[in-house]
Structure 1
Amino acid sequence: MISFFPKPYPDELFYSVIARYFVRSGSNQPTVTIKELFGAIRAASIDLPCSFGRLIERLPTGTDYTSEGFIYNNTLYNFYSPFLGPEKAMRVKDLMIGDDGKGIHPMCGGNSDIHLRSEFLRFCPECLRKDKKTYGEIYWHRVHQIPGVLVCPEHRIQLLDSFVPVTRHNKFEYIAASEENCKLTKPKKRITTYSLDRLVEFAEDCGWLLANRLDSKPSSWFQEKYSEILKQKGIASCTGINDLQKLHDELIAYYGSRTFSLWNFNFTRIKSLNLFTKFKAFRHLLLIRFLAGGAGKFFESQHSKYEPFGKPAWPCLNPACEDYLQPVIKEVKITCCLNKHGKPMGKFSCNRCGFKYARRGPDQSENDRIRVSSVFEIGDRLREVVLDCCEDKRTNELSPKIIVEAFGKLGYEPFWLKNKKPQSIIKISTAHKKKSEIIKIEKRQMWVNLISKNPNAIREELKTLNTQLYFWLLRHDKEWYKANSPISRTGIHARKGKDWNALDAETLARVSPIVRELLESHSRPKRITLWRVGRIAGIWTFLDKNLDKMPETNAYLQRVLETTENYNIRKIRWAAEYINQQGKQMFRSSILQVAGISRLSAAIEKEIERQMHSQQIHM
């Protein structure tokens, strides 16, 4: 147990506390003093030290220090932890309390911010004077050592480099701040007023993180919050697709290229927002300040969900409905209007009358809630009312013109039709329905013809023969497709009460011609594998699961399936034959180039020599 321990100052780095202990104890043997404090020799760590548990055991009786207190108040843990995720943040804290600190820095981002780190410990001249006056001595501040902090958030002036290197020859040495190693020198870089404002904002956000013990958030929490704000700023589409190029350009415009150069940050294009910020506190803070105006606002405020059409409920706009203009629609389906620069398109449906309309957003005022961009379904109730007003009672189809004429007879005056052409609003197209039915009939006939031409084909084979048709039917006419296709899991791999002997013979008859065709092909060889044979036969899943139940097929395939070496030997033979057909002289290098082989074995070398010798005999 040690006899005393210095009381940490506000925002003092734990490294600085230990350095002041060295000074007060008069120690000139760092390793002996470190062992006295931690029970073992530990290298000095400036930002994320470990062995706090050992230190607490050796502190004088009656002190109220705790490992968590040191970690939260005197290290950079609070700067990194909010972005690590709950499990990783807890793991880092446990490592800092324990003795093994090797995994701490990799878990906090490793070398992702190495370009931001200073070669020397930094200090603020004004803080130095203030600390000397208040405490009678100076010390190293936490916020000044954060990677990317170039100015003091309190005094808005540029930080200066001390004479104490971050990486020292003696890794067990703790050097306290002093007037000798914190000389007032001229700043190395010139900072413009605009860049100074941005750097102060960043430093303030870092200071806020250090001062507030935040719960760590999973990456999904940040991505969801970023997505909502990006939508509100018009940098993401209504469906959440980020315009990464626009985000990159606006970040450059906000911070300025000069500011990024001060950070030594080569800001190239953003390929993925998740990868851009993953475990990188610096990059998170860049986005947070730009999107939310500061770390405090981002973490403490509840950003509202992106609602381009406001909050529910929305009115039914069917003049024939009892709920006309009443807020009865509880949900809206939002899609992107691709031809209007990604603006949101909301689709509204009244459950009572079936009236469906769409509106292009976002809404700018309360009056927009009763605005209509298109009506794509008038509903059964309005359809009956309109048909009753038609002169030709036999008509079953409605056009925009018929609907508007009926509105006039009934005395309906929908405000969303005023001063607008009916065709521009009412999008009920009977021609489109007729065309869709014709296309569906044509597709069905094509499928029937395909089956008649291949009566023994299973669904997988039919899919291979006409993939486009297969997926069209699956998407637009699924029930008909199921009813008019070979029985699911047909052919050799779905029969009740399987006769495995018969299946074995049938499977062997199916795969052997495929193997023979692969071997006899004059084109570039393809390796004979179980996957390739099964895929060509259309029974890959069946083979993979049931090959052990079919001894004849299994034995045959074990004979013909190729190892990598056998496949390469077959490629050597094919390459030699190809070179002979070209009438060219055969060299070892030309064979390997045509065959596409880089790794050689003794058997492959022997085959190359045999092929070259064979050509010489025939010349």
Structure 2
Amino acid sequence: MLYFFTDLYKDEIFFSAICRYNRYSGNLGSKKSSYNLFGTEFRNEIRMFPCHLQYFSSQFGQETIYTPEYLIQKHTILPLYFPFLPKERNMDLIEDMKNNKSKEINIKIGEFAGGICKNIGIRVCLKCIEEDETEYGEAYVHREHQVPGNLVCYKHFEILREIIIPKYSVKEKYNIYNLKENNHYVNEANFMCFKKLCIDIHAILNCTQNDINIDELIKKYKVMLIQKGLASTTGITNWKKVNAGLLEFFPRDFLDILESNIVVDNAFTWTKMLLKRKILVHPIRHILFIEFLFGSVNNLISFKETEYRPFGKEPWPCLNPVASHYKNDVVTNLEISTRSTGDKPLGIFKCDCGYCYTRLGPDKNIEDRYIKRTVKNYGELWINELKNNIISGNYGVSKIASIMECDSKTVGAYAKELGIFELLNSKMKTYSINNKNEPRYCVSLEPQYKFDILTLIKENPSLSRSQVMKRLQKQCTWMYRYRREWLNSIMPAKIDKHIDCRNAKGYVDWKNRDSELSEKVSNIIIEMRRHNKNITITGISKELKFPVKKYLNKLPNIQKILEDNNII
């Protein structure tokens, strides 16, 4: 049972309260305080992510507010990481801090692989010190001020000052009044960027996991990238454009201070990792990306779209001019075409009345919903109404075209198809409905083309993809355009053009190679971790002198080792 402990103040970082207890208790050293509080001589107060919290909490009795969950949520910076990590990993981190697994925490949050601003020490705000002394009679270290990369106070928008830490100290780890003269990181040019960053850090620390979670966040990233024209409508991101945009959005020295600068042509820059759930990216880098795409964290939270909907939600209006439901929202069948229309998505809308039209998106206002691009199928209702208008003889060709919302040649073509062209009293040249559509959309071609392709592959199993496509160019082109998924599923596997030339002539026993290299990879990781090196696949490949990433799909043992060590 703990007989004495100093209360934690609002937004106080946990190690600040421990150091204050160390002074008040009169203990000669921090090891004695650690033993009293945590049951171990392990110096827990120097860590941003303290452990043994279950033991600490148990000393206050069952009704204490100082539960491990409360301490983690209110007095550590771990909540900054929660929105950007999978839920199961967050639960593991909480358990690690409750117990004695301090060595695993930095690995699980990615600090070893991608930490930032590690050399910037404990920071305080001069105005916060004055207010704390007035309200509590003493000053303390605030949690938000210790977030890596945060150099401005959220409450006063004052530049934070760094505490001078003495190399040797028995009773105190720091003196909150012993400050460096100025903060040389923040200047007039980048102050607004750091101010905005501190506001968003505050928003992250005070949001809930219902507001932001990694799975929905990645979906929101993808939607906004498309909306901003930084990705295609099919979701392919133009990273060169994204990186150039980020460099234009943020001052370069600001990114340098946060150790998050970008090389536009670099294939392994940190921006690409943001859309991969399994790869750990520092929360500050996520916040920078959020500011670039959404403007702020609060804007991100209020943004609810997790799926790209260039035409909004169903239903959509039917644009059949002769239907009783004309311009009413009754269409629920929408297909977004994968065929190229530049940067704009093409929507194909099919109504139950048979009318099928296309529109270019995205919709910018309500009027855009009623602007069609082309009509793919008019349907029986439209054709019957056209027939009645022609037979009645009350209208000329131009008037009928206006009523039916088509051009005159379409009126003539359908009149010819219906066998009533002479009733138009027109000498116009018309096209044939069937001949116009057959080369592109004739469904009857599909069974024969499928049979031709399957037969050729079955009779010639050694043919490559390119050889099949060369022999059946017409069939493969048609299937690629209209039945691409089916074609890809039955075609021979692609040949790796980048195969290692040194082993091109000989057979590689990948199972044996995987077994040989896996032990070496484990040893390399242990050595790199022992020397506090940044552990990456590239670094392992250099030590191993073998391109691990290139052949990772053939090396299951190595892949498991990398996953277990949170490297991929």
Q: Scaled by the length of structure 2, what TM-score is found?
A: 0.69
Matches within 5 A, 1:224-263: 224-263=219-258
Query: Is the 2:311–2:363 contact (alpha carbons within 8 Å) kept by the matching residues of 1?
Result: yes
Query: Is the 1:16–1:177 contact (alpha carbons within 8 Å) kept by the matching residues of 2?
Result: no
For each residue in 1:121-165, what CA deviation from the matched residue of structure 2 results, as whole angstroms up to 9, or x when unmatched? Answer: 111122222222322222111111111101112221221111127
Identify the residue that residue 325 of structure 2 maps to in structure 1: 323
SS in 1 for 2:289: helix
Match of 2:297 among 274, 295, 298: 295
Closer, same or farther: CA 448–526 of 1 in aligned 2, 3 Å: same
SS in 2 for 1:224: helix
Identify the residue that residue 24 of structure 1 maps to in structure 2: 24
Matches within 5 A, 1:542-561: none
Closer, same or farther: CA 407–317 of 1 in aligned 2, 3 Å: farther
Q: Is 2:36 aligned against 1:41?
A: no
Identify the residue that residue 366 of structure 1 maps to in structure 2: 366
SS in 2 for 1:264: coil
More off after superposition, 150-159 vs 17-26:
150-159
Closer, same or farther: CA 88–174 of 1 in aligned 2, 3 Å: farther
Report the CA distance between 1:447 and its aligned residue: 7.9
Separation of aligned partners in 1, 2:303 and 2:445: 56
Match of 1:191 among 177, 187, 194: 187
Separation of aligned partners in 2, 1:108 and 1:377: 55
SS in 2 for 1:267: coil
**Greater relative CO (CA pairs within 8 A, separation 6+):** 2
Which of the two has higher C-alpha Rg?
A: 1
Gaps of 5+ in 1: 392-404, 482-487, 489-523, 532-562, 565-619
Separation of aligned partners in 2, 1:438 and 1:90: 56
Separation of aligned partners in 1, 2:348 and 2:380: 18
Q: Scaled by the length of structure 1, what TM-score is found?
A: 0.64
Identify the residue that residue 108 of structure 1 maps to in structure 2: 109
Closer, same or farther: CA 347–446 of 1 in aligned 2, 3 Å: closer
Identify the residue that residue 518 of structure 2 maps to in structure 1: none
Separation of aligned partners in 2, 1:460 and 1:217: 50
SS in 2 for 1:282: helix
AA in 2 matched with 1:240? G
Query: Is the 2:162–2:180 contact (alpha carbons within 8 Å) kept by the matching residues of 1?
Result: no
Q: Is 2:403 aligned against 1:413?
A: yes
Closer, same or farther: CA 310–275 of 1 in aligned 2, 3 Å: closer
Query: Is the 1:229–1:291 contact (alpha carbons within 8 Å) kept by the matching residues of 2?
Result: yes
Match of 1:175 among 149, 173, 176: 173
Report the CA distance between 1:275 and its aligned residue: 4.4
Query: Is the 2:357–2:372 contact (alpha carbons within 8 Å) kept by the matching residues of 1?
Result: yes
Closer, same or farther: CA 158–436 of 1 in aligned 2, 3 Å: closer
More off after superposition, 23-32 vs 118-127:
118-127
Separation of aligned partners in 1, 2:113 and 2:446: 58
SS in 2 for 1:323: coil
Query: Is the 2:319–2:370 contact (alpha carbons within 8 Å) kept by the matching residues of 1?
Result: yes
SS in 2 for 1:347: strand
Identity of aligned residues (%): 24
Closer, same or farther: CA 428–377 of 1 in aligned 2, 3 Å: farther
Separation of aligned partners in 2, 1:308 and 1:122: 46
Q: Is 2:88 aligned against 1:87?
A: yes
SS in 2 for 1:116: coil
AA in 2 matched with 1:308? P
Identify the residue that residue 158 of structure 1 maps to in structure 2: 159
Separation of aligned partners in 2, 1:308 and 1:415: 25
SS in 2 for 1:163: coil
Q: How many residues align?
A: 462
Query: Is the 2:230–2:241 contact (alpha carbons within 8 Å) kept by the matching residues of 1?
Result: yes
For each residue in 1:562-607, what CA deviation from the matched residue of structure 2 results, as whole angstroms up to 9, or x when unmatched? Answer: x99xxxxxxxxxxxxxxxxxxxxxxxxxxxxxxxxxxxxxxxxxxx
Closer, same or farther: CA 433–120 of 1 in aligned 2, 3 Å: same
Matches within 5 A, 1:123-522: 123-164=124-165, 175-179=173-177, 182-183=178-179, 185-193=181-189, 195-215=190-210, 218-269=213-264, 270-275=271-276, 278-299=280-301, 302-303=304-305, 306-335=308-337, 338-340=340-342, 342-352=343-353, 354-383=354-383, 386=386, 408=398, 410=400, 412-414=402-404, 430-431=434-435, 433-435=437-439, 458=459, 460=461, 466-468=467-469, 469=471, 473=475
Query: Is the 1:140–1:177 contact (alpha carbons within 8 Å) kept by the matching residues of 2?
Result: no
More off after superposition, 89-98 vs 309-318:
309-318
SS in 2 for 1:460: coil
Query: Is the 1:81–1:216 contact (alpha carbons within 8 Å) kept by the matching residues of 2?
Result: no
Q: CA RMSD in A?
A: 4.3
SS in 1 for 2:90: helix
AA in 2 matched with 1:237? S
SS in 2 for 1:155: coil
Report the CA distance between 1:37 and its aligned residue: 1.4
Query: Is the 2:386–2:404 contact (alpha carbons within 8 Å) kept by the matching residues of 1?
Result: no
Report the CA distance between 1:237 and its aligned residue: 3.1
SS in 1 for 2:333: coil
Query: Is the 1:344–1:360 contact (alpha carbons within 8 Å) kept by the matching residues of 2?
Result: yes
Gaps of 5+ in 2: 265-270, 414-429, 484-489, 491-503, 514-568
